């Protein structure tokens, strides 16, 4: 079984780099780390970058997870190849583009592109946001799945994730003490479904709500509170229809509770997504 240390970054293609940079800085509140190779890298915490927009197909998405050792990365490649997955070993140029020492790439059973990375770069500078968004860091992603039960088995059986809760067939998966770092939502096609950044408090969630409303950015869900993770949230639309989320107060499941914790199963209803009564304008949540 593969051990995922943490989620690391998301790579997204864009057909309008200027618009993507303007949104990521002025609205999302990220810091530009660098611009090169037709790509712009953004910081949200102490990592070198957690989001990269590159010139390319807006449907081209990759999510990355860190492993602890080179031996684990090599073993993961052999493990996946032995189970029929096509594994690509990153070239020196590709490693430089991702700011890592080494990485492999493969696709999960639904076709989502996944990097496993070893020794990703950190930054020697403090994260300095372009607006006072209150972001404390990149936290999790929603992935689309064309077969939720099958993909749950893949992520838990091969990738070492654990189910925290389910909403219908949609599992919320943890790889550390945070309630979930991966959420799988049934769809008809693969790709990143939403990108989450944690913020310091509910004040930051509400401040963002009014700023985004003033700028006519579509609010897709919230403000609200998830009954699963307990997090207070706001989902809003980004470039090319990508959904971004701010949330705060996410539940932690401590290591000492692992043996006794049991996933809860919520029906696929609006109340299972928001206990305050907000209704989502997100296809995978309906």
Mean pLDDT of 69-73: 97
Given a contact cutoff of 8 angstroms between Cβ atoms, the answer to whether 50 and 41 are in contact is no
> Does 3.40.50.170 match the CATH number of domain 6-120?
no
Task: Compute CA distances 7 → 37, 63, 94, 181, whole Å.
Answer: 24, 8, 19, 7
> What average pLDDT does the segment 273-283 reach?
97
CA–CA gap between residue 272 and residue 286 (Å, rounded): 11
Say how far apart CA 79 and CA 195 lie, in whole Å. 28
User: ∠44-2-7 over CA atoms, to 5°?
Assistant: 5
Is 82:46 a contact under the CB 8 Å cutoff? no
Contact 161, 172 (CB under 8 A): no
- Which CATH number does 135-279 carry? 3.10.180.10
**% of residues, the chain, pLDDT over 70:** 100
pLDDT at residue 160, rounded to an integer:
96
Q: In a 3-state reduction of DSSP, which class is residue 181?
A: coil
Query: What is the predicted pLDDT for the residue at 1?
Result: 87
- Asked if residue 267 lies in contact with residue 165, where contact means CB atoms within 8 angstroms, the answer is no
**Dihedral in degrees, nearest 10, Cα atoms 129, 112, 64, 175:** 100
The percent of residues above 90 in pLDDT, for the chain, comes to 96
pLDDT at 37 (0 to 100): 86
48 neighbors 95 (Cβ within 8 angstroms)? no
Instruction: Say if residue 126 is exposed, middle or buried (CB neighbours under 10 Å; 0-12, 13-18, 19+).
Output: exposed
Residues 212-222: tens digit of each pLDDT: 999 999 999 99
How confident is the model over 188-192, as a mean pLDDT? 98
pLDDT score for 52: 98
What pLDDT, in 10s, does the model give residues 91-116?
999 999 999 999 999 999 999 999 99
Q: Do 10 and 52 touch, CB atoms closer than 8 A? A: yes
- In this model, does residue 89 exceed pLDDT 90? yes
CA 42 to chain centre: 14
- Across residues 235-240, what is the average pLDDT? 98
Say if 6-120 and 135-279 have the same CATH topology. Answer: yes
Mean pLDDT in the chain?
97
Q: What is the Cα–Cα distance from 21 to 123, expressed in whole angstroms?
A: 20
pTM for the model = 0.97
For residue 23 the two structure tokens come to 């949104």
User: DSSP code of 193?
Assistant: E
What are the domain boundaries of the chain? Answer: 6-120, 135-279
């Amino acid at each position: 079984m593969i051990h995922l240390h943490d989620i690391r970054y998301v790579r997204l293609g864009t057909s309008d780099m200027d618009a993507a940079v303007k949104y990521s800085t002025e609205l999302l509140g990220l810091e530009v780390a660098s611009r090169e190779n037709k790509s712009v890298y953004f910081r949200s915490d102490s990592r070198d970058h957690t989001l990269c927009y590159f010139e390319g197909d807006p449907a081209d998405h990759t999510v990355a997870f860190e492993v602890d050792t080179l031996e684990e990365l090599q073993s993961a490649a052999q493990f996946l190849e032995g189970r029929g997955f096509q594994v690509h070993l990153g070239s020196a140029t590709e490693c430089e583009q991702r700011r890592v020492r080494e990485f492999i790439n493969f696709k999960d059973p639904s076709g989502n592109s996944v990097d496993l990375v070893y020794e990703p770069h950190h930054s020697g500078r403090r994260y300095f946001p372009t607006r006072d968004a209150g972001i404390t860091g990149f936290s999790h992603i929603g992935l689309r799945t064309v077969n939720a039960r099958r993909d749950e088995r893949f992520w838990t059986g091969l990738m070492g994730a654990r189910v925290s809760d389910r909403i219908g067939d949609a599992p919320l998966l943890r790889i550390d003490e945070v309630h979930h770092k991966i959420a799988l939502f049934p769809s008809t096609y693969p790709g990143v479904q939403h990108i989450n950044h944690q913020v310091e408090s509910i004040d930051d969630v509400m401040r963002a709500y009014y700023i985004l409303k003033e700028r006519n950015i579509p609010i897709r869900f919230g403000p609200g509170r998830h009954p699963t993770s307990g997090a207070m949230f706001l989902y809003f639309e980004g470039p090319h229809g990508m959904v971004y989320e701010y949330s705060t107060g996410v539940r932690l499941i401590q290591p000492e509770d692992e043996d006794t914790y049991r996933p809860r199963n919520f029906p696929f209803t609006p109340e299972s997504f928001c206990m305050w009564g907000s209704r989502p304008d997100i296809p995978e949540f309906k």
